């Protein structure tokens, strides 16, 4: 009892220390969780915002690609009139080089071109001959058309003249100059196509379609997520248009002319005065867009969310710490009362029952106090009694089981019979008495000690030699046990009672031959022994009665019950004996024992000699 109280006191000190550690750890964990939550929320918000920027860039880049594709289709309409509608008016005018001052052509072109304006983004369409004379139509223009002229030194014009096919030529807004329309120069993104004379396979003129940069910027302003967000669109590393070209002179973004697949990336770029979040989106057709957002704009929305989230999480964690600290103090107060009761219990030496008032504590603590009060009431009558009684009862049962098969006085009597028979030259009786004495001595010596499997088999040999005096060669055994099991430790006398049962109940006639097989092998951490015979066997009713007798703790039978009971008491319910039998076929007993190799035994004998071959009995080898 004193040791129990000391254990409770030591545990109380340990609990107090643990409680303090728990509070400190809780505070540390709470702070860490707060920082982690703030960081993860900021990172998640940053990632979500960056993904939204990518979505904006994807939408903007797709819009520009669609616009350029439509401009390319629009610039093809003069050639389509002749090829599809069989209307060669424009083609003839260009071929005859009579576009200058051809007011009839101007009016006709204006009528045809205005049907294409506004469809998909085209805001300007112009027609030029090879001498640079042209006519143009614009959205929002008060006049029906306008006449224009291209000087020969214009760079994009010279590039178009060098073409021999009607493929489209994209002209960035920064390169659109000399169109003869001052409001278009530098302000429109244009696509130019040559118009071919199919009879001579020569370029006879050009058609240009364009859209103002302001219209594209207007679309971007409607899509952008930050008021200071800017963009630049490239085609094969060439800048097409941008909202603020000066910003991109400092950004050198490595990108292939044509990527093999769509890709996106983001990085932080530092300018002279602030940082920018740069999102780059590339398409496999060579188009790419760069979105540049001031980092302060990106973090501004994050900051307001973080402040609210941090305040909420921090308040929750503070409440949690206060609650835990209060509960810890409550538990420690309860533990102090429990220690006081233990001290009272110890000082009164179980004469008085200490009690703890269980008022004002949680239900769990009250239950603990109630259990302690109940324990203190019962412990005066139970301390030391139950454990001692159980140990004595088990030891008594073990000793009783052993003494059932180990009567000591018989050994002394057999020694006297052996000596008298030998003196009178009755050698068979003398040998039988000697063998039986050895058998009894084996059981009497070190009754609680385990033996090796090979020692148990030697004892089986002696017992079989005794049986051979009565049955001669009619009992034949075959033993097949794995070599590694020979030096394993098992309890004594587990084979002999089973063999005895096989002989007594298996032989029913004077000329019957009984075959007994003993097989042993390892299965995981267990040893399995199977002892089988081909005797008379049992029917289901007899087998059921035998099993019931073995399970009956009040049974006075020895034999198989003795073996089963000793296995249970020594090794526990995990290990057992199983019995199976069939009438006129035979019986088999399976024993399950723990695998316990003897560390003192280094060699395993290989049984090349018989277990016992005396008086004409036939035994198999140990394998």
Measure the CA–CA gap between 260 and 271, rounded to whole angstroms: 31
Q: Could you state, in order of their start, the residue ranges of all structural domains in the chain? A: 227-297, 397-406+447-619
Residue 294 · residue 276 · CB < 8 Å: yes
Measure the CA–CA gap between 467 and 617, rounded to whole angstroms: 9
**What pLDDT is recorded for position 352?**
56
CATH architecture type of domain 227-297 = 3-Layer(aba) Sandwich (3.40)
**What pLDDT is recorded for position 571?**
87
- The token pair at 463 is 């017992």
**What pLDDT is recorded for position 586?**
92
Q: Cβ atoms within 10 A of the Cβ of 441, count?
A: 14
How far is the CA of 373 from the CAs of 274, 361, 364, in angstroms?
Answer: 73, 15, 14
Q: Cβ atoms within 10 A of the Cβ of 44, count?
A: 12
Q: Which of 96, 102, 162, 158 is nearest to 132 (CA)?
A: 158
- Helices 453-471 + 496-506 axis angle, to 10: 30
Length of the chain: 623
**What pLDDT is recorded for position 345?**
59
**What pLDDT is recorded for position 402?**
58
Spell out a b/e string for 564-586, using b for 16 or more CB atoms within 10 Å of the CB, else e. Answer: bbbbeeebeeeeebebebeeeeb
- Strand (E) or helix (H) holding 294: strand 287-294
- Strand (E) or helix (H) holding 478: strand 475-481
Residue 154 · residue 176 · CB < 8 Å: no
Measure the CA–CA gap between 608 and 606, rounded to whole angstroms: 6
| pLDDT, averaged in runs of 10, over the chain (623 residues) | 54 62 75 73 75 86 89 84 70 73 84 79 87 86 81 84 84 88 89 80 85 88 85 84 66 47 81 80 87 78 61 76 72 68 59 56 63 68 61 58 55 64 68 69 65 90 83 89 93 88 85 92 94 91 86 67 84 88 92 91 45 36 31
Q: Which of 160, 166, 128 is nearest to 147 (CA)?
A: 128
- Residue 370 sits at φ, ψ, to 5 deg, of -60, -40
* 3-state DSSP assignment of residue 443: helix
**What pLDDT is recorded for position 393?**
56
pTM reported for the whole predicted model: 0.46
- Spell out where 109-223 has E strands: 124-129, 133-138, 146-149, 169-171, 188-197, 202-212
Q: Which fold has domain 397-406+447-619?
A: Heat Shock Protein 90 (3.30.565)
- The token pair at 376 is 């203190």
Residue 117 · residue 126 · CB < 8 Å: no
- Residue 493 sits at φ, ψ, to 5 deg, of 50, 55
């Amino acid at each position: 009892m004193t040791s129990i109280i000391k254990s409770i006191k030591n545990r109380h000190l340990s609990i107090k220390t643990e409680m303090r550690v728990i509070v400190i750890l809780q505070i540390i964990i709470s702070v860490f969780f707060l920082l982690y939550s703030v960081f993860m929320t900021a990172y998640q918000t940053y990632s979500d915002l960056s993904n939204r920027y990518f979505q904006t860039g994807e939408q903007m880049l797709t819009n520009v690609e669609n616009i350029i594709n439509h401009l390319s289709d629009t610039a093809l309409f003069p050639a389509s009139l002749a090829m599809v509608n069989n209307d060669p008016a424009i083609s003839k005018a260009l071929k005859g080089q009579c576009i200058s001052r051809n007011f009839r052509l101007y009016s006709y072109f204006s009528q045809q071109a205005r049907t294409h304006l506004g469809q998909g983004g085209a805001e300007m369409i112009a027609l030029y001959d090879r001498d640079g004379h042209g006519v143009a139509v614009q959205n929002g223009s008060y006049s029906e058309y306008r006449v224009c002229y291209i000087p020969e030194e214009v760079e994009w014009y010279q590039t178009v003249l060098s073409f021999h096919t009607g493929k489209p030529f994209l002209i960035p807004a920064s390169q659109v100059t000399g169109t003869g329309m001052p409001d278009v120069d530098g302000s429109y993104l244009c696509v130019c196509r040559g118009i071919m004379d199919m009879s001579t396979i020569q370029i006879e003129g050009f058609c240009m379609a364009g859209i103002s940069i302001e219209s594209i910027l207007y679309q971007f302003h409607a899509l952008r997520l930050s008021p200071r967000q800017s963009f630049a669109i490239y085609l094969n590393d060439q800048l097409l248009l941008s909202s603020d070209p000066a910003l991109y002179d400092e950004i050198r973004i490595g990108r292939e002319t044509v990527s093999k697949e769509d890709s996106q990336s983001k990085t932080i770029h530092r300018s002279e005065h602030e940082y920018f979040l740069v999102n780059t989106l590339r398409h496999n057709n060579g188009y790419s867009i760069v979105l540049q957002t001031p980092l302060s704009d990106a973090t501004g929305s994050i900051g307001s969310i973080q402040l609210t989230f941090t305040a909420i999480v921090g308040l929750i964690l503070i409440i949690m710490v206060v609650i835990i600290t209060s509960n810890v103090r409550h538990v420690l107060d309860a533990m102090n009362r429990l220690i006081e009761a233990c001290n009272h219990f110890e000082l009164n030496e179980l004469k008085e029952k200490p009690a703890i008032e269980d008022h004002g504590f949680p239900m769990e603590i009250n239950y603990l106090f109630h259990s302690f009060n109940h324990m203190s009431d019962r412990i005066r009558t139970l301390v030391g009694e139950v454990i001692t009684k159980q140990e004595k009862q088990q030891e008594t049962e073990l000793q009783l089981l052993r003494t059932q098969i180990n009567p000591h006085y018989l050994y002394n009597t057999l020694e006297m019979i052996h000596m008298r028979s030998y003196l009178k030259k009755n050698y068979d009786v003398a040998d039988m008495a000697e063998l039986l004495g050895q058998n009894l001595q084996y059981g009497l010596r070190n009754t609680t000690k385990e033996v090796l499997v090979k020692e148990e088999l030697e004892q089986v040999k002696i017992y079989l030699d005794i049986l051979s005096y009565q049955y001669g060669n009619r009992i034949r055994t075959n033993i097949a046990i794995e070599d590694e099991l020979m030096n394993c430790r098992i309890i004594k006398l587990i084979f002999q009672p089973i063999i005895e049962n096989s002989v007594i109940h298996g032989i029913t006639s004077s000329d019957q031959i009984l075959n007994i097989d003993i097989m042993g092998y390892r299965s995981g951490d267990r040893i399995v022994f199977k002892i089988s015979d081909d005797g008379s066997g049992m029917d289901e009713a007899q087998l059921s009665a035998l099993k019931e007798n073995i399970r009956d703790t009040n049974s006075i039978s020895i034999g198989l019950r003795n073996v089963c009971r000793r296995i249970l008491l020594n090794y526990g319910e995990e290990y057992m004996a199983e019995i199976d039998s069939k009438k006129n076929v035979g019986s088999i007993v399976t024993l399950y024992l723990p695998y316990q190799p003897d560390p003192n035994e280094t060699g395993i004998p290989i049984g090349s000699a018989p277990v016992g071959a005396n008086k004409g009995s036939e035994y198999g080898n140990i394998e």
